[in-house]
Structure 1
Amino acid sequence: MKWSEICIHTTEEAIEPVTNILYEAGAGGVVIEDSQDLQKEWPADAESTYSLDPADYPVDGVNVKAYLPVNSFLGETVEEIKQSVNNLLLYDIDLGEGRLTFSEHNEEEWATAWKKYYKPVSVGDKFYISPTWTDFHPEDKKRQVIELDPGMAFGTGTHPTTVLCIEALEDYLPNHADVLDVGTGTGVLSIAAAKLGAHHVLAVDLDSVAVQSATINVKLNKVQDIVSVRQNNLSDNITGTYDVVVANLLAELVIRLSEGGVADCIKKDGLLIASGIIKPKKELVAQALTQSGLQIIDERVSGDWVALVARKAV
């Protein structure tokens, strides 16, 4: 079977909405080639490193690549993708070049080639994140391993927005906490919370592909007795209250979450950990959180990304 590789050259800010568009179009997998990966310091142990080839990465920005079967509907699908990507400009999302190109690949070539982009990495102070097909034996026994199948939803859990959330969970998650993970994607934050000692985690996502992926990853990590996964739009119709709500979303969705009454889901003195916020939109998000009755107590930065930790005081 032949697959068409759709490549969109864009910015870090646009990774998640572009990825979502591609999955909604029926993509069979997504690869993210981020030029900043070439500048990262990867773990030094031989089991988790290898040489990255600069030729595989864009000079700047990000390539988001998706794979669609070559069939009679491909032309229409590509046009729909183009239109949906262009529509992101209506939400003030910086697309950069937003250039779309495509090429054809055999199924056998695609099925193995994309895996070279993923490897075990250390995240925060307490975790390794490892792709499921890697026989990974960490040297640091104090770190727990989160296994992910990154081919199903939004990346491998090593994007700066996700890392910021995990670091905040390490620092702020109370013992035996009840946690709500809004926009769970692969489920990585829910799994991290469970491994950090959460009592119960509810993981929600509007995208059925993400729900399926999170469910699989929760079982892979043997935390299904702690983590429940279901399809839901943000915090709409969520009953009960939580010690911690974690939301790794776009800035616009964090604002919508705030305006939608997420504070009602948080216990007194409970926390909201919000990430996916590009620096220029930090103040807008901070204002929305404050107006919703939350007090910002911490700000964390990684490159162009910001995570905010806010407390519900009353």
Structure 2
Amino acid sequence: MMKWSEISIHTTHEAVEAISNILHEAGAGGVVIEDPFDLTKERDTSFGEIYQLNPDDYPEEGVIIKAYLPVNSFLGETVEEIKQAINNLMLYDIDLGKNSITISEVNEEEWATAWKKYYNPVKISKKFTIVPTWETYEPVSSDELIIELDPGMAFGTGTHPTTVMCIQALEKCVKTNDIVIDVGTGSGILSIAAAMLGAKSVKALDLDPVAVDSAKLNVKLNKVQDIVTVAQNNLLDNIKEPANIIVANILAEIILRFIDDAYRLLEKGGFFITSGIIQAKKQEVKDGLIRAGFIVEETLVMEDWIAFIARKE
């Protein structure tokens, strides 16, 4: 039974984006934003059930951001780093409001039920809609592709900008019978998308055993286990078979470590799709891709995040 620590930050609308990024980078398994504005706004009920929101859960002013971190030996350091990073935002003249931070422990069951109310079906690209496993959803159009996710706690809901951009990039690049490698697969969502777009075989790799289990579960759920193989692996170490597409939605620092391996493994004309890159690291990753021999064909931008589609000539 895993224990999770809930870190709750009372801040302002202005700081939500920046603090969410800090939390994602610190390894938070999902971020919940409690905004009093949600209580009054019109909700789209076309997707079915809407949970009754309880005004007592919401702050009177500002916004509360909650994130969940696994309770382990680094927790204390991680929390200190988060506090430091949030305080540093003041250097950029970002108003932090109350900036009060509280920590409490929750167990897995409580958390699993608590966050479901924030998660609805979401159409994230021309073809794909992501639907949580506990919802029923009728496709709106005949060519809509539906990915069912039981996102588990270590991974987001598939609607984070970096995931969305990777899926949009896969839509542009995947051809029937392509061989795809997904580095740092997390929930397995990119591998599932590649399989649904016609890839012949997909390797979903992750160093984290929790990710491997989560991805296996989601691959089965979407009935693509004949195409997608999930394995525990560090980046592209010891991978020998060439690929047409390599996709990686992980932090910029990690992408930089295996650009040369990706170049070597790709067939001529193959694509390397990278995301998880914050604006500040954009140039560094781009330079690394070009240095390795890639041509950067397209740069996707969503919120504060960047994704590159790079091609091997």
- Please give the range of the TM-score, normalised by the shorter of the 2 chains: 0.7 to 0.9
Secondary structure at the aligned position of 1:284 is classed as helix
The runs of 5 or more residues in structure 2 that have no matched partner are: 10-17, 90-95
Which residue identity lines up with residue 308 of structure 1 in the other structure?
F
Q: Is the 8 A contact 1:124 1:163 kept in 2?
A: yes
| Higher mean C-alpha deviation, range 42-51 or range 152-161 | 42-51
How far off its partner does 1:257 sit? 2.1
Query: What's 2:256 paired with?
Result: 255
Secondary structure at the aligned position of 1:117 is classed as coil
Q: Is the 8 A contact 1:18 1:64 kept in 2?
A: no
1:198–1:43 Cα change, 3 Å:
farther
Which residue identity lines up with residue 25 of structure 2 in the other structure?
P
Q: Is the 8 A contact 2:130 2:146 kept in 1?
A: yes
Cα distance in 1 for partners of 2:7, 2:155 equals 16
Query: What's 1:268 paired with?
Result: 268
Which residue identity lines up with residue 76 of structure 2 in the other structure?
K
Cα distance in 2 for partners of 1:171, 1:189 equals 13
Q: Is the 8 A contact 1:153 1:210 kept in 2?
A: yes
1:190–1:102 Cα change, 3 Å:
same
1:168–1:45 Cα change, 3 Å:
farther
Which residue identity lines up with residue 282 of structure 2 in the other structure?
K
How far off its partner does 1:277 sit? 0.6
| Higher mean C-alpha deviation, range 240-249 or range 139-148 | 139-148
Match of 1:18 among 18, 26, 31: 26
Query: What's 1:228 paired with?
Result: 229
Two-structure CA RMSD over aligned residues (Å): 3.5
Cα distance in 2 for partners of 1:66, 1:221 equals 28
How far off its partner does 1:18 sit? 2.1
Cα distance in 1 for partners of 2:146, 2:34 equals 26
Cα distance in 2 for partners of 1:2, 1:276 equals 26
Counterparts of 1:185-224 in structure 2, within 5 Å, are 185-224=186-225
How far off its partner does 1:107 sit? 7.0
Query: What's 2:66 paired with?
Result: 63
Cα distance in 2 for partners of 1:288, 1:65 equals 33
Which residue identity lines up with residue 64 of structure 1 in the other structure?
A
Cα distance in 2 for partners of 1:59, 1:82 equals 26
Query: What's 2:299 paired with?
Result: 299
How far off its partner does 1:43 sit? 9.9
Query: Does residue 147 of structure 1 match 2:148?
Result: yes
* CA-to-aligned-CA distance 1:204-247 (integer Å, 9 cap, x gap): 01111001000000000000000000011111111111100000
How far off its partner does 1:12 sit? 3.5
* CA-to-aligned-CA distance 1:113-171 (integer Å, 9 cap, x gap): 22112111101011110111112223333211101111243111110000000011111
Query: What's 1:172 paired with?
Result: 173
How far off its partner does 1:99 sit? 7.1
How far off its partner does 1:178 sit? 0.3
How far off its partner does 1:50 sit? 3.9
Q: Is the 8 A contact 1:45 1:139 kept in 2?
A: no
How far off its partner does 1:60 sit? 6.0
How far off its partner does 1:82 sit? 2.5
Which residue identity lines up with residue 272 of structure 2 in the other structure?
L
Cα distance in 1 for partners of 2:250, 2:65 equals 18
The runs of 5 or more residues in structure 1 that have no matched partner are: 23-29, 69-76
How far off its partner does 1:190 sit? 0.3
Q: Is the 8 A contact 2:202 2:228 kept in 1?
A: yes
Cα distance in 2 for partners of 1:280, 1:189 equals 24
Secondary structure at the aligned position of 1:134 is classed as coil
Cα distance in 2 for partners of 1:250, 1:160 equals 13
1:153–1:253 Cα change, 3 Å:
same
Q: Aligned pairs, how many?
A: 291
Q: Compute the TM-score of the two structures, normalised by the length of structure 1.
A: 0.80
1:195–1:2 Cα change, 3 Å:
closer
Match of 2:77 among 83, 86, 92: 83
Q: Is the 8 A contact 1:161 1:307 kept in 2?
A: yes
Which residue identity lines up with residue 13 of structure 1 in the other structure?
N
| Higher mean C-alpha deviation, range 108-117 or range 238-247 | 108-117
1:8–1:180 Cα change, 3 Å:
farther
Q: Is the 8 A contact 1:263 1:312 kept in 2?
A: yes
- Identical-residue share of aligned pairs (%): 42
How far off its partner does 1:84 sit? 3.5
Counterparts of 1:112-151 in structure 2, within 5 Å, are 112-151=113-152
Cα distance in 1 for partners of 2:75, 2:249 equals 24
Which residue identity lines up with residue 31 of structure 2 in the other structure?
I
Q: Is the 8 A contact 1:11 1:95 kept in 2?
A: no
